[in-house]
Amino acid sequence: MNDDTREKRWQDRFPRLLPRYALLACLALVVVSLGVVLTPARPRESAEPSFSDQARGAALAETVRLLDAGSHLGTPAREGSAAPSAVRSTDLPEGKPADTGNRAVERAVTLLTTQAQALLAPGQSLPDAPGASRADSGEPSASASASAGAASAAAASAAGSSAAASSAAPLPATAGQLVTALADSGRQRLADAAVADGGMARLLAAVGTAQLLEASALAAGTGTAAPPADVAFPQLSGACPTASTGSGAATTGTAPRAAADSPQPPDSPGIPGASPAPGATVETALAAVARTEAQTIYGYQVALPRLDGDAAKSAAEQLARHGELLSSAESLSRQHCSAVPPREAGYALGPSFLASPAAGLGSLETAALPVYGDLVALSDGETRQWAIAALLDSGKRAVVWGTDPGALPGLDRAALPSLPAN
C-alpha cells in the first residue's frame, strides 16, 4: 500500500518537475559550449616552405644584397653633384675613364632592381632602391641604406637560414668583389632552377643567366677580372621507352606522345611571364626549340657571306654551335617519343636583316630566349639542365652581336615589371 502511494506521488510530481530538469539540461549545455569556445585552439604548425619558395626567397635576399652593394659603389654623377667616390680613376686601367665604371655599376643596379621586383612574392613590396637619393658628396643616404637593410632582412626571413647567412655576409666593397658576388649568385640561381617547379624554375634561370652576363659586363666596364660564365651541357642519354619494341616508329624515335600524357608544371602565381601557355608540353617546347634553331641556322648561313673579319669568324663558330644545338634538340625529342619537326628549306628574313646582318643575328639569338625559357619551365632532369645551359648560351651570343638580352632573359618582356627610372 505504501509503495503504491509513493509511486502515485512520483507520477503526480514528475510533470511538475519536468521543466526544471529541462532547464538544468539547457544550463549544462550552455556551460559546456562556453568551455569549448573559450578554450583556445591549438595553433597549427606552419608548413615548411617548398623548395621553390625557399629558392625564391634566397634569390630575393641575395639580389637585394647585391643591389645594396651596387648602390654603395655609386652611380653616374648628377648635375651639380660630385662624382661618386667608390669607382675612382685609380681603380681602372690606364685610359679607361671613371665614368665608364660608373655607368657599368649603374646598369648593374638597374638590372638588380628589376630582378628584385620580379622575385617578390604576391603581397610583398620592395623598398625604394637604395642609393637613389644621395647627398652632394656622392655617399649613399642613411635612409637608403636602412631601406636596403630592411629589404634584405625581410627577404632573409622568407628564405630561411641560407638567405639569412647571405644577408649577414659583408657587402662587396669594390667593383671586383661585386663582379665575383654577381657570378656566384648567378650560378646558384641556375643550380636552384634545375630543381624548382615550373615557372619558378624559369624565373630563377632568367635571373641566374642575367646575373652571369652582367658580371661579365661589369668586369669589362670596370676593368676587373671576368669570372667564368659557363654552364656545362649534360651528356644526353636515354631513348624513347617504346624503342625496345623494335618497330620502325620507335627506331626513329618519332612516335608522338599524347599531350594529355605529359606532366604539366605547377602554376606559378605572381611570376610575370613565367608560366607556359595553357596546353604546352615538353614535347611542344622541344619542337619549338628545333624550329627556332633551324631558322637561326638559316639566318647565320645568309649572314655569313655578308660579314668579314672577326665578325665572320665568330659567325662561323656560332653556326657550327647552332648545328650542335639543333641535333641535341632533335635527340631530346626522340627521347620523349615526340615527332621531330622537318627541316625547312628556307625562312623569311626581313630587309633589315640583310642591311645589318650582325644586328639581325642578335635579334635571332634574343628570339630564342623565351623558347628555351618555355622548355625550362616544362621539363625536368636532363632536359631541363640542357635547356638552362642553352638559355645562357643564347644570352652570351646575343651579347656578342651587341643585343641586350634584358634583366630576365627567357621571360616574356611584355609581362615584365617596368624598368626603374634612372
Of 177-181, 241-245, 313-317, 410-414, least confident by mean pLDDT is 241-245
> Whole-number mean pLDDT of the chain?
78
DSSP state letters, 71-113: HHH--PPPTTSPPPSSS-GGGS-TT--HHHHHHHHHHHHHHHH
The model's pLDDT over 132-145, given as tens digits with 9 standing for 90+, comes to 433 333 333 333 34
The model's pLDDT over 19-65, given as tens digits with 9 standing for 90+, comes to 766 777 777 776 666 655 555 556 666 678 899 999 999 999 999 99
Query: Is the pLDDT score of 172 beyond 80?
Result: yes
Query: Is the pLDDT score of 90 beyond 70?
Result: no
CA dist 316 → 41, 56, 282, 292, 360 (Å): 70, 39, 30, 18, 15
pLDDT tier, 89 (very low <50, low <70, confident <90, very high otherwise) = very low
CA dist 415 → 122, 247, 392 (Å): 15, 45, 21
**Rounded-to-integer distance, Cα 23 and Cα 207, Å:** 70
pTM of the prediction? Answer: 0.75
**Between residues 198 and 365, the one the model is more confident about:** 365
The model's pLDDT over 182-227, given as tens digits with 9 standing for 90+, comes to 999 999 999 999 999 989 999 999 999 999 999 999 999 999 998 8
CA dist 391 → 213, 269, 404 (Å): 11, 23, 14
Query: Is the pLDDT score of 389 beyond 90?
Result: yes
